[in-house]
Structure 1
Amino acid sequence: MSHTQYDKTADVYDDSLNVLTYPAYVEEPTYRAVIGDVRGRNVLDLGSGTGIWTRRIKQVGADRVEGVEVSAPMVDVSRDKEREDPLGITYHVADVTKGLIEGLAGCFDLVTGINVLHYSSSRSEIAGMCGTARSALRPGGRFVATCANWDMPDDPEYYAQYGLSCTVPPNREEGTKAIVETTMGGEHITLDFYLWRRETYADTLRAAGFRTIRWHDWQVSPDGIEKHGAEHWKRFLAIPSIHLVEAHV
Structure 2
Amino acid sequence: MSDLNTVNAAGGTDAFDALGALYEESARLPFREYLEHHSVREAVGDVTGLDALDLGCGSGLYTRRLAAWGAARVTGVDSSAGILATARAVERARPVGVRYVRADATRPAAAGVDGSTDLVLSVYVLCYARSEQELTAVLATARRALRPAGGRLVAVTLNPDYGRGAAYYAPYGFTLTQPEEREGAPVTLDALLPGGRLHVTAHWWSRKTYERAARAAGFADTSWSPLTVSPRGRRLLGDAYWSAYLRAPQALILEATVAS
TM-score normalized with structure 2 length: 0.91
For 1:53 and 1:157, locate their aligned partners in 2 and report how far apart those are by CA, in whole Å.
Answer: 28
Query: What is the DSSP-based 3-state SS (H/G/I as helix, E as strand, rest coil) of the residue aligned with 2:151?
Result: strand
Q: Are the counterparts in 2 of residues 100 and 136 from structure 1 also a CA contact under 8 Å?
A: no
For 2:89 and 2:145, locate their aligned partners in 1 and report how far apart those are by CA, in whole Å.
Answer: 25
Of 130, 138, 142, which residue of structure 1 is paired with 2:152? Answer: 142
Residue aligning to 1:35? 44
Shift of 1:168: 0.8
- The amino acid that maps onto 1:169 is P
Q: Are the counterparts in 1 of residues 77 and 112 from structure 2 also a CA contact under 8 Å?
A: no
Of 177, 198, 209, which residue of structure 2 is paired with 1:167? Answer: 177
* Unmatched runs of 5 consecutive residues or more in structure 1: none
Query: What is the DSSP-based 3-state SS (H/G/I as helix, E as strand, rest coil) of the residue aligned with 1:39?
Result: coil
Query: What is the DSSP-based 3-state SS (H/G/I as helix, E as strand, rest coil) of the residue aligned with 1:118?
Result: helix
Residue aligning to 1:90? 99
- The amino acid that maps onto 1:9 is L
Shift of 1:209: 1.3
Residue aligning to 2:34? 25
- The amino acid that maps onto 1:179 is T
Shift of 1:103: 5.7
Of 206, 220, 230, which residue of structure 2 is paired with 1:221? Answer: 230
Shift of 1:153: 3.0
For 1:40 and 1:100, locate their aligned partners in 2 and report how far apart those are by CA, in whole Å.
Answer: 25
Q: Are the counterparts in 1 of residues 224 and 253 from structure 2 also a CA contact under 8 Å?
A: yes
Of 80, 86, 89, which residue of structure 2 is paired with 1:80? Answer: 89
Shift of 1:207: 1.5
Residue aligning to 2:137? 128
Shift of 1:57: 0.5
- The amino acid that maps onto 2:246 is L
RMSD: 1.3
Query: What is the DSSP-based 3-state SS (H/G/I as helix, E as strand, rest coil) of the residue aligned with 1:11?
Result: helix
**2:32 pairs with 1:11:** no
- The amino acid that maps onto 1:155 is G
Identical positions, percent: 37
- The amino acid that maps onto 2:168 is Y
For 1:104 and 1:182, locate their aligned partners in 2 and report how far apart those are by CA, in whole Å.
Answer: 32
For 1:102 and 1:6, locate their aligned partners in 2 and report how far apart those are by CA, in whole Å.
Answer: 20
**2:219 pairs with 1:210:** yes
